[in-house]
Structure 1
Amino acid sequence: MNTITIVGGGTSGWMTAVLLNQAYNKFGQTVKVRLIESPDIDIVGVGEATVPAIKDFLQAVGIDEMDFMKHTNATIKTGILFKNWCAPSKDGQVHTYMHPFDQEKAEKRLDVATSWLLSERRKPYDQSVSIAHALAQKNLTPKVMNSKSFQSIVPYSYHLDARLFGQYLRDYACAKGVERIEAHVSSVNSSGNIIDSLDTTKGTFKSDYFIDCTGFRSLLISQVDDDSNWHSYRDSLFCDRAVTVQTPHEAGYSSKSYTESYALNAGWAWKIDLQNRTGNGYVYSSRYIDSKTAENEFRNHLNLPDDIQFNHIEMKVGRRKQQWVGNCVSVGLSSGFIEPLESTGLHLIYLAARFFVLHNNFSGNSQSNIDNFNLTMCKTYDELKDFIVLHYVLSDRKDTEFWRDVHKTLDFCPELSKRLELWKSKVCEFFDVSDSTSHMFSDTSYRYILYGMNYFPELKIPTIDGEFEDIFQYLDERKKQACNAVLSHSDFINKIQGKSNFVSVKL
């Protein structure tokens, strides 16, 4: 294997380029990594929230955290705050819960979830067991003054500008030896399932492997497969459109250290704060409302004037049955799409690039390697799809046709259906979801969704009054100590921007 050619820039193309170059060329050039991107084609660029595994990618390729955050207008993300996903309370209060990235332990007891379920439940589950939730309530970071890069008292991830992240990775990759070619691909020359070369406005390029990062267009992979290679999620994920807009911060605004997800009439809206602006989007189902209705609803939700322009995106919801065909591997939107409710987009790019490295034996790949790559990626997409469906089917909302119908999606998720039946009578635990391929969402995450959406098991374990009081007193004390020790989000952003004497210390 002498050459790998990636087609398509943006975050998927440049993340893949950086990772492959680091894997193969960190001790000198072994493989030529080339990326071809067209200056005429815009990127989707809405993947602005991440999960903690993004730090694994940044560390693996040697990127400095503070430098990355400064150049991508990034902020800290401690979790996702969900609003309006269940019906309002009897007194009209909007239903709210959080999916943070941590879960504290209950010492010398059954696990903390079991302890909470058997206790008097004086506070909601997320408020009871999470330090990250306590930090988010006060808009604090999990960073103390002497935190090293990527280190913290609880897990975290980032909000970032997807376009700036792509540009940052492009500059980083090119500085490390990746060849960038600005050209338009005019034709893909293939024989069977093997791509021989690409004709572009800058000439013809041959390669041993081709990576398709061309987004929903799927320019390369579509040449070596057909429509039968697509597995639609249409029956289980209704949302297939998005309307987006960016809003600048007003003077004195303090960026939130968490993502907000607000359920609307036919889907949900995100709110993601960067250092300089807020990213907003409404992910909705075209089966229930049209684009104009969605835009008007979203405009009213954001309280924006009529002259503000919105961007509309059509989304192909599903995955490829084979994401590696012949010598072509699809990565990012060309391989599949799951709505960004849990910020999985960038992680799926990282997984695909990483799995390619792990399955590529360099001197010719056996079909078993390719088959296992495809199986792993398919299971990962299906697993994440089920996790997204979980949010919808637990809702008790009946106020619109969308929310009345969305429960039907469980019929197309047999594995999730079995788990929900199980979790009626036992706590969700690690071994229930330990067959995960992505390892993105463990029992910790499932618990926050289940108990945040009021799906509790009926436990008949004998207890005594006040048995668990000391556990939650101890956790409350830990939360207070954490809040007193860490930096505020605004102070941390000031340090990123060089407005104080904070110095980043590399690991």
Structure 2
Amino acid sequence: MRPNAIRRVVIVGGGTAGWMAAAGIARVMGDMPHLSIELIESDEIGTVGVGEATIPQIGLFNALLGVDEADFVRETRATYKLGIEFVDWTRLGDRYVHPFGFYGIDMKGIQFHHHWLKGRALGDRTPLDAYSLAVVAGLRSKFAHPRPDQPNSPLSKLGYAFQFDAGLYARYLRRLAESWGVKRTEGRIVDVERNGKNGHVAAVVLHSGARVEGDLFIDCSGFRGLLIEEVMGAGFEDWTAWLPCDRAFAVPCELGGDDHPLTRSTARGAGWQWRIPLQHRIGNGYVYSSAHISDDEAAATLLANLDGVPLAEPKQLRFRAGHRRRAWVGNVVALGLAGGFLEPLESTSIHLVQSGIARLMTLFPTRDFDQVEIDRFNEESVKDYIDIRDFLVLHYKATERDDTPFWDYCRTLEPPPGLAHKLAMFERNGRIFREGNELFTETSWLSVMVGQGVEPRGYHPAADLLAEDETLTRLRHIREVVGSTAEAMPLQHDHLQRIGCAAAPLRRAS
């Protein structure tokens, strides 16, 4: 074993971020000789669960941990998720779905949507949603796993994620992590000791007087950023000008309404409301701008738009959109809300924790803490936030809504440079480019730009290699195959019952 190897990893804070970090590090690095992993959390301090919806990458993390999907779904009261439905974002009364998976099939060496755009020019006004199995199945409350063994079926490229109880997920991860040797210490941190030579964190002191020493500290302390900001002074990049929502109310309610395997985001007068259906309840929240609505009015709006009886009083959260300028300083790495916050409009909160853990595992340090590697971690972390920020701003910028001062502000804001470039490319001839390893695919950008009313002036010339009649015939055939495949899929309700989810049965779609 190298003499400068990390021997003591200390995770400050529990919740989803802390226990994801504990489980991930233990799974990947746990066999290192003499490595100890300790998580400190206090029952006195509540955790923040701003969202319980995920994106397909969560499957990769669960697979890394060796999680059995059916067991995970049962234990976390999870439902499946085929995409996000957006209501009233483009204009009042309008809706579309951002799906997981793909639209149609590529033809003549170009992306499917260019043929769809040609079809529109020929008078076929069928919405893009009709060519996505995730959308059609989701709106029919259907679910089935992808079938890569059937390459000619739309099921071969179906993507999915989960909606779950974040508290139960943290508990689930805790059981795994502790079985792999992670030690949990109960206690509230009252002081932090630093190394006088290099400024690194040497130990944290608990209210009980106990000291916990470490070589590497993972800050999962939430918005406060106990170590990364209060001790290490990482700095914060504020994006409120682009993402003006700065508060949220969250409340669970009884089951009601539809049971589509979709997260729903409904635009309101000063922000948007989430709806996340689980097996036993629905998670709801109103993300809003305090400059455009009062707290009382926001809470009343949320409670007036629930599908069931509320199960608690609305809980308020306050935040700023943005990120730490340096997510890694010295021997402290920030994950989750300690590293930054972007509203959960596209369910990216848990993914940012996951990507931070993966990056840390790739660049896992020695006690020398090489600055070149730390700089690389920070550069990639910032890029993650920028890529997601631009995608979120698209939802606000590309709108026709002018019915409230909030939407006037959003519609007329100057977009970030990356978003401005993407919009310009798409508006000309429907071209979409995925920059490097950015999270959101061409399908994601396409769905939101089209869904939000961005109209290209043309399409790829190769689409004209198909005759007009053949283009329309192929489009019709693809719609029919998507529709028949969705119809043959089982209801999500039946699938959940089949794998033993007997909590509170979901209501069947009417």
User: TM exceeds 0.5?
Assistant: yes
Which amino acid counterpart does residue 458 of structure 2 have in structure 1? L
Which amino acid counterpart does residue 444 of structure 1 have in structure 2? T
Q: Partner residue of 2:88?
A: 84
Q: Partner residue of 1:119?
A: 119
- Structure 1's 146 and 422: CA in aligned 2 closer, same or farther, altered over 3 A? closer
- Structure 1's 190 and 408: CA in aligned 2 closer, same or farther, altered over 3 A? farther
Q: Partner residue of 1:504?
A: none
- Structure 1's 395 and 223: CA in aligned 2 closer, same or farther, altered over 3 A? same
Q: Partner residue of 2:141?
A: 139
Contact 1:4 1:208 in 2 (8 A): yes
Contact 1:324 1:330 in 2 (8 A): yes
- Structure 1's 496 and 146: CA in aligned 2 closer, same or farther, altered over 3 A? farther
Distance 2:156 2:76 in 1: 20
Pick the aligned partner of 2:469 from 461, 466, 469: 466
Q: Partner residue of 1:237?
A: 243
- Structure 1's 123 and 321: CA in aligned 2 closer, same or farther, altered over 3 A? same
The secondary structure found in structure 2 opposite 1:468 is helix
1:19 correspondence with 2:20: no
Q: CA deviation at 1:69?
A: 0.8
Q: Partner residue of 2:224?
A: 217
Q: Partner residue of 1:405?
A: 409
Q: Which runs of 5+ in 1 are unaligned?
A: 89-93, 500-507
Contact 2:253 2:310 in 1 (8 A): no
Pick the aligned partner of 2:60 from 45, 53, 56: 56
Q: Deviations over 1:37-85 (max 9, x none)?
A: 1110000123200000000000011111111111100000000010001
Distance 1:30 1:375 in 2: 31
Q: CA deviation at 1:353?
A: 1.0
Q: Deviations over 1:92-136 (max 9, x none)?
A: xx1010100111323446320100011134311122x31111111
Distance 2:295 2:483 in 1: 46
Distance 2:55 2:163 in 1: 9
- Structure 1's 95 and 480: CA in aligned 2 closer, same or farther, altered over 3 A? closer
Distance 1:339 1:145 in 2: 33
Q: Partner residue of 1:200?
A: 206
Q: Partner residue of 2:47?
A: 43
Q: Deviations over 1:227-248 (max 9, x none)?
A: x711001111011100111111
Q: Partner residue of 1:326?
A: 330
Q: CA deviation at 1:254?
A: 5.8
Q: Partner residue of 1:503?
A: none
Which amino acid counterpart does residue 117 of structure 1 have in structure 2? L
The secondary structure found in structure 2 opposite 1:221 is coil
1:10 correspondence with 2:10: no
1:101 correspondence with 2:100: yes
Which amino acid counterpart does residue 213 of structure 2 have in structure 1? K
Which amino acid counterpart does residue 389 of structure 2 have in structure 1? K
The secondary structure found in structure 2 opposite 1:421 is helix
Which amino acid counterpart does residue 115 of structure 2 have in structure 1? S
Q: CA deviation at 1:448?
A: 0.1
Distance 2:71 2:33 in 1: 25
Q: CA deviation at 1:315?
A: 1.3
Q: Deviations over 1:260-303 (max 9, x none)?
A: 11000000001000001000100000111111111122222337
Contact 2:254 2:311 in 1 (8 A): no
The secondary structure found in structure 2 opposite 1:301 is coil
Distance 1:86 1:415 in 2: 21
299-308 vs 15-24, which moves further: 299-308
Contact 1:410 1:416 in 2 (8 A): no
Contact 2:269 2:404 in 1 (8 A): yes
Distance 1:482 1:273 in 2: 24
- Counting only pairs closer than 5 Å after superposition, residues 141-156 of structure 1 correspond to structure 2 as 141-143=143-145, 154-156=158-160
Which amino acid counterpart does residue 17 of structure 1 have in structure 2? A
The secondary structure found in structure 2 opposite 1:353 is helix
Q: CA deviation at 1:410?
A: 2.8
60-69 vs 300-309, which moves further: 300-309
- Counting only pairs closer than 5 Å after superposition, residues 41-440 of structure 1 correspond to structure 2 as 41-88=45-92, 94-103=93-102, 104-108=104-108, 110-120=110-120, 121-127=124-130, 129-143=131-145, 154-191=158-195, 193-202=199-208, 203-226=210-233, 229-249=235-255, 255-302=259-306, 309-362=313-366, 364-411=368-415, 413-429=416-432, 432-436=433-437, 439-440=438-439
Distance 1:266 1:197 in 2: 44
Contact 1:35 1:181 in 2 (8 A): yes
The secondary structure found in structure 1 opposite 2:304 is helix
Which amino acid counterpart does residue 305 of structure 2 have in structure 1? H
Distance 2:477 2:316 in 1: 48
- Structure 1's 146 and 74: CA in aligned 2 closer, same or farther, altered over 3 A? farther
Q: CA deviation at 1:435?
A: 2.1
Contact 2:80 2:492 in 1 (8 A): yes
- Structure 1's 395 and 481: CA in aligned 2 closer, same or farther, altered over 3 A? same
Distance 1:152 1:209 in 2: 42
Which amino acid counterpart does residue 249 of structure 1 have in structure 2? L
The secondary structure found in structure 2 opposite 1:279 is strand
43-52 vs 10-19, which moves further: 43-52
Q: Deviations over 1:387-429 (max 9, x none)?
A: 0000010010000000001134334x12211221222112233
The secondary structure found in structure 1 opposite 2:468 is coil
Q: CA deviation at 1:142?
A: 2.7
Distance 1:405 1:498 in 2: 45
Q: CA deviation at 1:326?
A: 0.2
Contact 1:237 1:409 in 2 (8 A): no
Q: Partner residue of 1:505?
A: none
Contact 1:241 1:286 in 2 (8 A): yes
- Structure 1's 51 and 2: CA in aligned 2 closer, same or farther, altered over 3 A? same
Distance 2:328 2:310 in 1: 45
1:489 correspondence with 2:466: no
Contact 1:9 1:35 in 2 (8 A): yes
Q: CA deviation at 1:153?
A: 5.5
TM-score normalised per structure 2: 0.89
Q: CA deviation at 1:144?
A: 7.6
TM-score normalised per structure 1: 0.90
Contact 2:191 2:206 in 1 (8 A): yes
- Structure 1's 307 and 381: CA in aligned 2 closer, same or farther, altered over 3 A? closer
Contact 1:142 1:156 in 2 (8 A): no
Contact 2:222 2:337 in 1 (8 A): yes
Q: Partner residue of 2:455?
A: 456
Contact 2:240 2:321 in 1 (8 A): yes
